[in-house]
């Protein structure tokens, strides 16, 4: 059960963090013509959609949204994307997920894109936890949070209301 005492980010804070990350992505890609924002299925894709909306407001970049289909429970299964390989080949790409916990989902997502020559490759997460079992880092992060291994971060995205909880 989620209780408000466990709230770590409210709607305003989440929106501020998404906006800041969008500006960082823009600054990092200001010399590019196009950037691909690749959101991992589920909350990662919702987060990516919000980043794309802000990037389109603040920049002249061509911003392309891509959904990354990965089975988070079985990351060794085939990973696919909503774009064809040629749509992101030799372009700047940011892989996006909501929470970086052990790094399993992100590292397998990275592995998928390593088979394609990219101009630049970065990662972005809303919440970065410190329980990594893989050598992966978030280049852009909303908040870093030290938690116990038994605790979990749950992010709820809705149209006008978003919250992050520590449960």
Q: Which pair of structure tokens corresponds to residue 53?
A: 């909306």
Q: Which pair of structure tokens corresponds to residue 148?
A: 């116990």
Contacts of residue 165, defined as CB under 8 A and 6 or more positions apart, other chains included, come to 2, 6, 7, 8, 153, 154, 155, 156
The single residue listed with the structure tokens 């790094």 is: 103
Instruction: Classify residue 27 by its DSSP letter.
Output: H
Q: What is the mean pLDDT of residues 67-94?
A: 93
Residue ranges per structural domain of the chain: 4-166
Question: Which tens digit of pLDDT belongs to each residue from 73-82?
Answer: 888 899 999 9
Decide the pairing of beta strands 120-129 and 153-157: unpaired
Question: Which tens digit of pLDDT belongs to each residue from 95-154?
Answer: 999 999 888 899 999 999 998 999 999 999 999 987 778 888 899 999 998 888 788 889
Q: Which CATH class is domain 4-166?
A: alpha beta
Q: How confident is the model at residue 162 (pLDDT cuts 50, 70, 90)?
A: very high
Confidence (pTM)? 0.93
Average model confidence (pLDDT) across the chain: 92
């Amino acid at each position: 059960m989620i209780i408000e005492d466990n709230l770590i980010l409210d709607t305003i804070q989440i929106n501020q963090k998404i906006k800041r990350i969008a500006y960082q992505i823009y600054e990092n890609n200001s010399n590019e013509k196009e950037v691909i924002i690749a959101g991992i299925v589920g909350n990662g894709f919702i987060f990516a959609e919000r980043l794309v909306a802000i990037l389109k407001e603040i920049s002249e970049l061509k911003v392309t949204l891509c959904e990354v289909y990965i089975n988070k429970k079985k990351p060794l299964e085939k990973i696919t994307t909503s774009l064809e390989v040629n749509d992101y080949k030799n372009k700047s790409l940011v892989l996006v997920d909501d929470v970086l916990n052990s790094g399993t989902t992100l590292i397998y997502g990275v592995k998928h894109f390593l088979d394609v020559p990219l101009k630049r490759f970065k990662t972005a997460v809303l919440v970065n936890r410190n329980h990594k079992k893989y050598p992966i880092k978030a280049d852009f992060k909303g908040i870093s949070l030290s938690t116990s291994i038994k605790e979990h971060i749950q992010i709820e995205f809705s149209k006008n209301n978003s919250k992050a909880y520590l449960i």
